[in-house]
Amino acid sequence: MSTSRRVLVTGVAAISPLGLDAETTWNALIEGRSGIGPITQFDATAFSSRIAGEVRGFDPEQWLEPKEVRKHDRFTHFAIAAARMAVEDAGLDLERIDRDRAGVIIGSGIGGLHMLEAQHRVLLERGPRRLSPFLIPGMIINMASGQVSIDLGLRGPNSSTVTACATGNHAIGDALRAIQHGDADLVIAGGTEGVVSPLAVGGFCAMKALSTRNDDPERASRPFDRDRDGFVLGEGCGLLVLESEEHARARGARVLCELAGFGMSGDAFHISAPPEDGNGMIRVMRAALTDAGMTPDDIDYVNAHGTSTPVGDVIEARAIRTVFGEHADRMFVSSTKSMTGHLLGAAGGFEAVVTVLALARGIVPPTANLDTLDERIEGGDIALAAERFVPGRAIEAPLGAALSNSFGFGGTNATLVFRRAPAPPSA
C-alpha cells in the first residue's frame, strides 16, 4: 500500500515524576518545577547517587484488581494506566472502532527489573519451587504492549521496541509506519519504564553516569549547564494515540498535531558514548526531516535528548548547529529532563507528549537549572546563545513544527518530527 497516508496525534497520556497525568505534568513543566528528590523506593544510603525522578503516589490498584497487580511489574502498571488515559483523552469509543485495525506498540528499555530482583531473592532464600509463575510473563518487555492490548481488546499490530533510551521514539516511529503502510488505522504508541531499583541505580553508579548532587536533588539534572555532573534516573510513561487522517476525520476526532516524519541511524562507534562529531545524531535528524518532506528552516523547536551528561550534551548541541546552521539562532531548544530526570525507555514517549503539547498550545517548556551555559556550547564551532535553550522559564511562541531527539546506548538514534495539525479537507 501507499506510504502517503497522513498520521495525526489525537490523544496523549503521561505518568511522570511531575504528576500522574498529562495535564498535571504539563503544568509543572511550564512552571519549571522539578520532580527529582531523594530515592524512597529502597534504602539508597550506600549508593553514590541517592536521588531520582520517582513517580510518587501512583496506586496500580486504581487501575487493576489486586490479583492482577501482582502479575505485572511497575512498567506494565504504568502502561495500562496511561493507555486508558490516552483513550479517554482521544475521545475514543472503543465499541465504535474496528479493533482488528487498532494496535499497540509500547517499548521499554529495561522492563521488569523490580520483579526480577524480588524473585531472585526468593530463589536464593527459599529455592526454585517458591518462584512465582508470573516471573517470566511479568518481567518481559513486550508485556506492556501485550497487556494493554488485552485490557483494551485491540487486535491490530502488537509489538514492542527495545532500543535503550531511544525506545519510545522507535515505538512511535514503528506505529507511524504501520499506519502509513495500511497495517492499522489507529495505534497507541510510546514508552514505559519503572526501574528505580537497587540493581539499576547501582549499575548506573558503577558506570559513573549519574549525578551525585545528592544534597540538592532539584538542581541535579542540568542539561547544557557548565556544572552538570551526570544524569538523574527517572521513571514513568508517555503514550500517543496515532490515527490515519481518514480514521480521525471520520470519527470527528480532535487533532493535536501531525506526526510528519521519523528517522533512524546508528553510530557504529561505542557502547555508551556518541562520536565527537555527532555524526549519528546529524544523520538521524536529517533523515527525519527528509521523511517529513521538510527543511531545517521549518523547525521552530527541538526537544533535545539533553541528558545532563558532560559529553553527550555538547555533542548534541554541535549536531543541532550542523543540521540547522544559522536557523539554530532563531529556533528554541530545551531539555525537559532537567525536571523529570532521564526516563530511559520511556523518555522518547514522554518527550513526544511534551512536544505535541508544546505545538498544540504554543508554549516552549524551559530547560531548568541552566545557570551558565557550557562554554564549549556558547563558543567554538557551536556558538549557540544561552537564550536559545529557554533557560528557567517557559516561552509563549507560535510553533509550526518541532523535532524530538532520543539517543540510546549501543549507538541507536531516533528522531520524530511533528507539525501543526493540518486543516480539515474542504467539503
Q: For residue 417, what are the contacts with CB-CB under 8 A and spacing of at least 6?
A: 259, 260, 261, 262, 263, 288, 289, 291, 292, 294, 299, 401, 402, 403
Residue of 72, 170, 247, 305 marked active site: 305
Do 142 and 271 fall into the same domain?
Answer: no
Do 214 and 138 fall into the same domain?
Answer: yes
Do 157 and 203 fall into the same domain?
Answer: yes
Domain endpoint, select from 250, 272, 304? 250
Note whether 235 and 40 are within 8 A (CB).
no
Tens-place pLDDT, residues 77-89: 999 999 999 999 9
Q: What pLDDT, on a 0 to 100 scale, did the predictor assign at position 266?
A: 98
Domain endpoint, select from 203, 219, 250? 250
Round to whole Å and give the CA distance between 213 and 235.
19
Q: What pLDDT, on a 0 to 100 scale, did the predictor assign at position 4?
A: 72
Round to whole Å and give the CA distance between 83 and 239.
7
pLDDT at 2 over 50: no
- For residues 97-114, give the mean pLDDT: 98
Question: Which structural domain range is residue 387 located in?
Answer: 263-420
Whether 165 is catalytic is yes
Tens-place pLDDT, residues 109-168: 999 999 999 999 999 999 999 999 999 999 999 999 999 999 999 999 999 999 999 999
Do 149 and 102 fall into the same domain?
Answer: yes
Residue of 165, 205, 237, 257 marked active site: 165
Tens-place pLDDT, residues 163-207: 999 999 999 999 999 999 999 999 999 999 999 999 999 999 999
pLDDT at 54 over 60: yes
Do 225 and 292 fall into the same domain?
Answer: no
Q: Looking up cell 549519574, which residue turns up?
A: 210
CATH number at 152 reads 3.40.47.10
Q: How many domains does the chain have?
A: 2
Whether 327 is catalytic is no
Domain endpoint, select from 250, 275, 293? 250
Tens-place pLDDT, residues 353-385: 999 999 999 999 999 999 999 999 999 999 999
Answer yes or no: is 223 within a domain.
yes
Whether 342 is catalytic is yes
Tens-place pLDDT, residues 391-421: 999 999 999 999 999 999 999 999 999 999 8
- For residues 211-237, give the mean pLDDT: 98
**What percent of the chain shows pLDDT beyond 70?**
99
Do 138 and 207 fall into the same domain?
Answer: yes
